[in-house]
Structure 1
Amino acid sequence: MPPCWSGCTAGVRAILLRCAGFNNVDLAALHRLGMFAARVPAYSPEAVAEHALAMKAADLGFLQGTAGATMMGLRTNPGVEMTDQSLRADLRDLARSARHLHKAMLDVETQYFGAVGGVLEHLQLVTNHPHFAWLLKLSGLMAELDERLDGEEALEAFEATQFRTAFEELVGPRPPIDEEFRKRYLALLHDAPEVAMAHGVLRQALGKVPQAR
């Protein structure tokens, strides 16, 4: 990274790359500057054509309302009936995304902690050590979701709504239910690209789940 960057990073918190790797970025320099880089891990040629089509649709005025709804996390097909099957599919997607995010967060926190020994020692630390205690908020919510998905009773839309609200109160964009969790979570978003990418996947999954009106 050019030396001149050290004096002109005011307000810049992230470098977003339209490529699949980090080989063209000095990650150590970014870390020293308090910045992070994010990439596109699975980039396909079809995405270029899709983007061109989307730009043309935007030029014709077709996308403005849909884009606004997407940014607000709203469903674009509110008239679709939400059955037990569709709700379970959306919540399973949410559960998978949450597990991916939790693993990314745990990996980073483990790096910060240092040597943890074997698998059992690591599990004991994650469960009992104060360094990892803040992650229990998320893992506890994940356990509640898994338990409900394992149940045989039909899911209702209001239950899915409650899970969406609970996740958004932890990771955003709703006001935080736990200020300390949100503070540490935002710090990981800034410091760890893998957490930032997992957060984006979780937000996409949350967007499929009905929200409170």
Structure 2
Amino acid sequence: MKDFIIPAIDLKEGRLVRLYRGEEQKVKVYSQNPEDTAKFFQDMGFGRIHVVDLDGAFGGSLKNLTAIRRIRKVFSGVLQVGGGLRDTKTIEELSKEGVDLFVVGTVAVKSPEVFQQILSLFPERVILSVDSKGGKVSVGGWKEESAYTPVELARLYEEKPVWGYLYTVVERDGTLEGVDTTPYVEFKKSVKKPVLASGGVASLEDVKKLYGVVEGVVVGKAIYEGRINLEELE
């Protein structure tokens, strides 16, 4: 299961936090030192972590580079980073810091030509973030609704050199409401590349439900609230 679960570290003003349904004001702080948590995941044997710069997602540009740098120093596995990655310069900067994969969403919808540039510079290193809210892809820190359904957005780039997709059900994110596998099953029918699931995981049972449906699951709040005991994972 440690190969399937991808622990999430969400950054806000340098701290590790979680939001409720992606709402900027509904924030809970879990740690002042995110790198300590990253080191914990390293020691527990996780091979990948998912880091989100929430200030970057809401503000449109990378804000937590110092925290990301500290995380990279203590975590030797695959590091994927998202939040405010909307130009080639930002991604080049993260690449120099040793970030492996880049989670990009808004620019794929709003500036396709820039997204194509990013893909040409970093082939197979970009995860297309597909944030589903009310059946449509949400962008700009989940504040704006696009015209695309998740499948429509994926089909635009399925033949391009994206690594795969991070499909988030925004309405369930940070809620501990549990997982509905239906959106992921439907989405997988339209794509061949790997899909990572995110949103609503409340227990190990939820993780098991997704096993075999997607290639990985991002888990945050369920870990920090003690709903999933990492000591028991294989």
TM range (shorter): under 0.3
Write 1 or 2 for the structure with the bigger share of helix.
Answer: 1
Select the structure with the greater relative contact order (CA < 8 A; seq sep ≥ 6).
Answer: 1
Write 1 or 2 for the structure with the bigger share of strand.
Answer: 2
TM-score (norm 2): 0.24
